[in-house]
Amino acid sequence: MSKVVKATPTFAETMVSWQKTHGRNHLPWQNTQDPYRVWLSEIMLQQTQVTTVLGYYAKFLAHFPTVAELAAAPQDQVMGLWSGLGYYSRARNLHQCAQDVMTRFGGVFPQTAQELMTLPGIGRSTAAAVASFCFSERVAIMDGNVKRVLTRFWAYEADLSVSQNEKTLWEKAEAALPSRQLKTAMPRYSQALMDLGATLCLPRKPNCPSCPVRGECKAYALGSPEKFPVKTRKLKRSSEVLWLLLALNKKGEVWLEKRPATGIWASLYSLPVFESEEALKKALSFKELKKTRKLSEEPEWTLLPTFKHVLTHKDLHCHVMKVMLNQAPQTPAQGAWWAQNDWKVLGLPTPIRHLLSNSL
């Protein structure tokens, strides 16, 4: 009597069946194949926790239920709604991308990763996520969570700060993709990789005993999952000193300016920013200030406590000068007085929002 030998499930097959029963299946951007919703969630989830994204995702969809409505919105409204989520280039690209979908693709998201990648703010992994979730395209995603899972599974020791090594990992990831029943398997497989990285294969203390692929995982066998991924080149950090002018008028309004389209806090509203105390003071004529305060002496500046704001590559050391004015400060950028009810809905950098909330 011949014995029937059952084929061992592949890595992809194991991941797909694990996701069905143990993965995350109730997030609001799941169970949809609407590329607008999937794309919106993918952009928001870059460098941001799921719990933070939930509220922003709901708010964006309430204001902009379709890509057409997002494209037609004023940039200030988009930046205002994004305020607090950080990494503001994502919001600028999001808006531009919606406009490009309208003008270049007639309001319909393209269906292949290759075409999606031609849109602003959509990199290779985001394009693959949208294409695999919505159109079941056989393409590999590669965000931070996925890199961790795959490098551990294969005990992939090559340094990922070398681009050729990262390219090789992509190739291995492509070879490991599901090969059957792609319509259902591809979305689930992409989700499984994300879920495993977010729930079990954690950066510190991964929960290997609960992992569906621990039997084949090389890093687990070696007893050193936390050694992977290997990335030696660290981001070079720099620091910068900023002087911020917190100018108020008698009505309690604050002077805000729109930042240039590039550089720190690009396209957001901010207090006027200067590189030194001298530059800040020069931007205000003492004569004007004397008139305002009806004093013959120098005006009273209040120096608020200095604070540090940490960006990805840079620490910002911010000094804040507070002064009362009756007229507009003489700064080169276009600005205006904003009442509390109005500035609260603007796109403001998080530290400026905190500063205003705590000092007005």
CB nearer ligand SF4, residue 55 or residue 144: 144
Q: Which residues contact 310 (CB under 8 A, 6 or more apart)?
A: 316
Active-site pick, 42, 157, 216, 275: 42
Rg of the chain, C-alpha, whole Å: 25
CB nearer ligand SF4, residue 17 or residue 359: 17
Least distance CB 212 / ligand SF4 (angstroms): 8
CB nearer ligand SF4, residue 222 or residue 328: 222
- Give me the torsion for CA of 81, 83, 87, 88, rounded to 10°: 60
In the chain, which ranges are E strands?
238-248, 254-258, 269-270, 273-274, 302-310, 314-324, 335-338
Least distance CB 15 / ligand SF4 (angstroms): 10
Least distance CB 214 / ligand SF4 (angstroms): 4
Q: Which two tokens stand for residue 277?
A: 């105390």
CB nearer ligand SF4, residue 224 or residue 276: 224
CB nearer ligand SF4, residue 170 or residue 228: 228
Least distance CB 229 / ligand SF4 (angstroms): 11
**Dist. CA 44–CA 34, nearest whole Å:** 16
Q: What sign for the dihedral angle of Cα 141, 142, 143, 146? A: positive
CB nearer ligand SF4, residue 106 or residue 209: 209
Q: Which residues contact 32 (CB under 8 A, 6 or more apart)?
A: 38
Cβ atoms within 10 Å, residue 286: 12
CB nearer ligand SF4, residue 198 or residue 355: 198
Q: Which residues contact 14 (CB under 8 A, 6 or more apart)?
A: 212, 213
Q: Which residues bind ligand SF4 (CB under 6 A)?
A: 149, 152-153, 200-201, 206, 208, 211, 213-214, 217, 219-220, 225
- Using the 8-state DSSP alphabet, how is residue 226 labeled? G
Least distance CB 254 / ligand SF4 (angstroms): 49
Q: 57, 51, 31, 45: which is closest to 187 by C-alpha?
A: 31
Roughly what angle, to the nearest 10 degrees, separates helices 163-175 and 144-153? 80
The residue with tokens 């109730």 is 26
Least distance CB 60 / ligand SF4 (angstroms): 33
With beta carbons less than 8 A apart as the criterion, state whether 246 and 321 touch. Answer: yes
Is 288 an active-site residue? no
254-258 and 335-338 beta bridge pairing = antiparallel
Least distance CB 210 / ligand SF4 (angstroms): 8
Q: Which two tokens stand for residue 138?
A: 């056989």
**Dist. CA 193–CA 188, nearest whole Å:** 9
Name the residue type at position 25: N
Tell me which residues are annotated as active site. 42
